[in-house]
A = this chain, B = another copy of it.
């Protein structure tokens, strides 16, 4: 399995906005289309790479830089990396973008937008209520800053659109940039798509019958 080009799909947005859900669905969809994929979930990274870090700006930035470093190693080796951490600070996200692009890989930022009132109503983990009651300090969007992206490649309004629509929107952007091959709807047979993949791998020119 070989991806056309390595890339990082970087979700950003408040807790509960739907980053992890979208990342999970896209992971499956991308695998089904033959890509090598890794999801770097905020919680998993805090366990494996950032234990001991807190939630100050400095610690949050360090956490994002670490996720970015791993995304970079994966992307430049043609793996699709998906990050699903809150990543509240614009400068840290832009730094990751610069490093990944400097390696010749692609950075696609997806802002998962959802109004705080809706999040407070859903409140899956019961954290918004606590934060809004002033019982939780350093809670992003309530008692800690969240800096919206200024030019995200995709903006998802998770309170207005069903998950399937958001997934399609993201996939269309990835297809447009030729980062994932188009789904069945693109008219190519499996055989032709395999041949196109072989061409991407530079193999066909070495095989006389297909040169």
Contacts and interface: CB of A to CB of B under 8 A. Distances in A.
A32 interface: no
A118 interface: no
A209 interface: yes
Interface residues of A, number: 29
A132 interface: no
Contacts of A2: 1-2, 201
Given A48-B69, A70-B70, A209 B206 contact: no
A94 to B, nearest CB: 18
A142 to B, nearest CB: 28
Is chain A's interface secondary structure helix, strand, loop, or mixed overall? helix
A46 interface: no
A194 interface: yes
Interface string A44-65: 0000110110000000001001
Give the copy number. Answer: 2
B49 A49 contact: yes
A36 interface: yes
A169 to B, nearest CB: 26
Contacts of A62: 51
Contacts of A194: 203, 206
A110 B183 CA distance: 44
A207 B205 CA distance: 13
A191 B203 CA distance: 11
A77 interface: yes
Nearest to A72: B48
Closest 9 A/B residue pairs (Cβ): A209-B209, A77-B79, A48-B69, A36-B77, A2-B2, A194-B206, A198-B203, A49-B66, A38-B73
